[in-house]
Chain A
Amino acid sequence: MMDALLEVKGLHVDIPLSAGTLHAVRNVSFSVNRGQTLALVGESGCGKSLSVLAVMNLLPKKARWHAEKLLLNDEDLTSTSERNMADIRGSRMAMIFQEPMTSLNPCYTIGNQLMEALLRHQKVSRSDARDRAVFLLEKVGITAAASRLKQYPHQLSGGLRQRVMIAMGLMCGPPLIIADEPTTALDVTIQAQILALLASLQQEFEMGLILITHDLGVVARVAHRVAVMYCGLVVETGDATSLFENPLHPYTQGLLASLPIPGKTMPGEHLGSISGMVPTPIGEQHGCVFRNRCTYAFDDCSAGPVDLREVSNGRTYRCLLSPEVCAQNLAGGQSL
């Protein structure tokens, strides 16, 4: 068993509101190894972004978090000081944000913003930092890299800006990269390129990558391991192949059935859908969080919280039904 690069166990994020406490993330555990891609996937509001913001200690001030275990290379991050976190962010784990136009500062040149992290974390000269910036811009496929350093974010296209964001994340050579919806704002043709780029850089530098997305297509093509989140809980985990080919949890099954797939779904026919709405994350949950939308719900589902069950190594799901019954449900659903 390889040592995990990042290990998160029992992470909770709560946001106190006037109406009660919003449990945005409940008892979430995941780990990432070097050279591995973990995808956190789920619909908006499921807590995927807040989970990693907690890891980076970048949560909004209002939010509270605690975790049983939060280890980065065996260093405990639950009790570390903000000063130490500032040293860790950027140098040992870096984040690539969703919207490159809002996360790049419009008042500074690309070069300035690229070099900032390296100058902050390491004792290097400006000219060395510049060389590193040019090297990485070329790595991420930007031509005429040296002249780009003098440009401002608004002079670049969306795809280029996203490439700059990736290069920025890599400046200090962090072993762990967290990418929050890195391609959502991009066109489909650029999306494939950016994902291929991330995957090849990850292999080259043996980085761990946490990919946060709502796009199941992206997850299937890029991730090694997947954790599906619903309403603050992880409802299913597994390696990408077995999770997509044999989804167990009714929510995962429902999500996959609701996607139109050229050549597989019948044009003009009804797509699968998940009826109802996500329950409010405010207050305590009793029973299975998915039961109000689940076709297979029965009395026991509302009795008490449902635990994650392990089917095989690393393959878990949070449902009272046995894996065999879940597999049958899937087969039955497809023939309908």
Chain B
Amino acid sequence: MTKKVLQIQDVTKTYRVSAGAFKGKRPLHAVNGVSLEIEEGSVLGLVGESGCGKSTVAKIILGLESATNGHIILDGNPISRVARREMTRRVQPIFQDPYASLNPRKSIGSIISLPLRVHKVGGRADWGKKVNKIMDIVGLPARLKHSYPNQLSGGQRQRVAIARALIMRPEIVICDEPTSALDVSVQSQILNLLIDLRKEFGLTYLIISHNLAVVEHIASRVAVMYLGRIVEESPTSDLFKWPQHPYTRALLASVLTPEPRKGLPETHLGIAYPNPIDPPSGCTFHPRCPKATELCQTTPPNPRSDAGRLVECHYPEQ
């Protein structure tokens, strides 16, 4: 039985947002009772449309936001009891936009070595060596050490972000849209690198993406999120072969692969992603669901789990 390195238990994040002048604040459930488990050395993909709460989950795990309710458990210990320093040594992020996530006034060497300096690992001489080594591993030429982020291409910047994340040899890397800002040919280089690094260092990834093709390629399990809930979670190959939730089916149908004879898919989703301040009653997906009945409008479905798969729908596909 493999070890669960990271467990997210019934996490809720509620923001209080103003609903307009003179109206007082109303709760917005960005994350609404999400539970996930990541096994050591595996890759969990988290997918969903913008606004579904997937990035909020990442922020909560990284400690950039605090959960309103629920627990994050790292290696059996709730993170509220794990020291901040230890936490950051073991869990590191890679963000979406390598243009915004690197300090433009610091040299590449300084950006990559910052975690070493913060954690006071070894001495000054050590830092240089470690930086050279990690730059070599992620495929950055050593001459770039004294360059600044604006002198680098998008792909190189993302490699810097990966080097910075890996220099402390973390166990878990949270990648929030790691390739969305990159060109196609660079995206594949970064994906190949992430795959290699995982094998080499035995890393565990949480990959957050809206690109299902990327997630299919790299993840071993996939969780689909809709309006703050996980509506389906299962091993990647099962999810892509037999999607059980109608939303997952629609998401899969809307992946546009470069196959000219297939034409455009019909997703039957209607127009609007609902406003998360006013979520629909019952099953929150019912206004967009082709299979919705009266039951769906009134009663939220309970999660059903079976053979390693979880689905939250009254009428899942068999």
Q: Which of A189, A196, A214, A277 contacts B184 (CB 8 A)?
A: A214
Residue of B nearest to A186 (CB): B50
Residue of B nearest to A222 (CB): B264
Decide: B183 and A214 in contact? CB cutoff 8 A: yes
- Cβ < 8 Å to A, chain B residues 183-200: 183-189, 191-192, 195
A218 CB–B CB distance under 8 Å: yes
Decide: A157 and B217 in contact? CB cutoff 8 A: no
B269 CB–A CB distance under 8 Å: yes
Decide: B264 and A188 in contact? CB cutoff 8 A: no
Which A residues are within 8 Å of any B CB, using their own CB? 43-44, 141-143, 157-160, 187-193, 195-196, 199, 214-222, 240-241, 244-245, 254-265, 267-274, 277
- Using known A-B contacts A157-B273, A260-B216, A270-B192, determine if residue A244 contacts B260 with beta carbons closer than 8 Å: yes
Size class of B's contact patch? 35 or more
Decide: B254 and A220 in contact? CB cutoff 8 A: no
| CB of A45, distance to nearest CB on chain B (Å) | 9
Inter-chain contacts of A263 with B (CB < 8 A):
240
| CB of A265, distance to nearest CB on chain B (Å) | 6
B265 CB–A CB distance under 8 Å: yes
Decide: A221 and B273 in contact? CB cutoff 8 A: no
**Closest 7 CB pairs between A and B?**
A217-B256, A258-B188, A260-B217, A43-B183, A271-B188, A220-B258, A274-B185
Decide: B265 and A192 in contact? CB cutoff 8 A: yes
- Using known A-B contacts A260-B214, A265-B217, A271-B192, determine if residue A245 contacts B185 with beta carbons closer than 8 Å: no
- Cβ < 8 Å to A, chain B residues 209-261: 210-214, 216-218, 236-237, 240, 250-261
Apart from A216-B184, A220-B257, A255-B184, what are 16 other A-B pairs with CB-CB below 8 Å?
A157-B272, A159-B271, A160-B272, A187-B273, A188-B251, A188-B255, A188-B256, A189-B269, A191-B254, A192-B267, A218-B256, A258-B188, A259-B188, A260-B188, A271-B188, A273-B189
- Using known A-B contacts A216-B184, A220-B256, A277-B153, determine if residue A160 contacts B271 with beta carbons closer than 8 Å: yes
Q: State the main secondary structure of chain B at its contact with A.
A: helix
Inter-chain contacts of A257 with B (CB < 8 A):
188
| CB of A214, distance to nearest CB on chain B (Å) | 7
Decide: A220 and B260 in contact? CB cutoff 8 A: yes
Inter-chain contacts of B252 with A (CB < 8 A):
262
B262 CB–A CB distance under 8 Å: yes
| CB of A197, distance to nearest CB on chain B (Å) | 10
Residue of B nearest to A197 (CB): B264
- Using known A-B contacts A267-B218, A273-B189, determine if residue A189 contacts B267 with beta carbons closer than 8 Å: yes
B266 CB–A CB distance under 8 Å: yes
| CB of B99, distance to nearest CB on chain A (Å) | 12
Decide: A216 and B258 in contact? CB cutoff 8 A: yes
Inter-chain contacts of B216 with A (CB < 8 A):
260, 262, 267
Decide: B250 and A189 in contact? CB cutoff 8 A: yes
B263 CB–A CB distance under 8 Å: yes
Inter-chain contacts of B266 with A (CB < 8 A):
192, 196
- Report how far A220 CA is from B213 CA in the complex, Å: 16
- Cβ < 8 Å to A, chain B residues 253-299: 253-267, 269, 271-273
- Report how far A306 CA is from B95 CA in the complex, Å: 40
Q: Which of B49, B217, B236, B261 contacts A187 (CB 8 A)?
A: B49
- Report how far A258 CA is from B186 CA in the complex, Å: 9
Inter-chain contacts of B267 with A (CB < 8 A):
189, 192-193
- Report how far A240 CA is from B188 CA in the complex, Å: 23
- Report how far A263 CA is from B213 CA in the complex, Å: 9
Most-contacted residue by chain B among A189, A257, A259 (CB, 10 A): A189
| CB of A262, distance to nearest CB on chain B (Å) | 4
- Report how far A272 CA is from B262 CA in the complex, Å: 23
A-B contact pairs, 26 of them (CB 8 A): A43-B185, A43-B186, A44-B154, A188-B251, A188-B255, A189-B269, A190-B271, A192-B253, A192-B256, A192-B264, A196-B264, A216-B258, A217-B255, A220-B256, A220-B259, A221-B259, A255-B185, A256-B258, A258-B185, A258-B187, A259-B257, A260-B214, A265-B217, A273-B189, A277-B153, A277-B155
Decide: B192 and A273 in contact? CB cutoff 8 A: yes
Decide: A267 and B260 in contact? CB cutoff 8 A: no
Decide: A217 and B192 in contact? CB cutoff 8 A: no
Inter-chain contacts of B192 with A (CB < 8 A):
270-271, 273
Interface string of B158-202 (1 = CB under 8 A from A): 000000000000000000000000011111110110010000000
| CB of A303, distance to nearest CB on chain B (Å) | 25
- Using known A-B contacts A160-B271, A255-B184, determine if residue A199 contacts B212 with beta carbons closer than 8 Å: no
Decide: A262 and B258 in contact? CB cutoff 8 A: no
- Report how far A284 CA is from B247 CA in the complex, Å: 51
- Report how far A160 CA is from B273 CA in the complex, Å: 11
Inter-chain contacts of B254 with A (CB < 8 A):
188-189, 191-192
Residue of A nearest to B190 (CB): A273
Inter-chain contacts of B212 with A (CB < 8 A):
188, 262
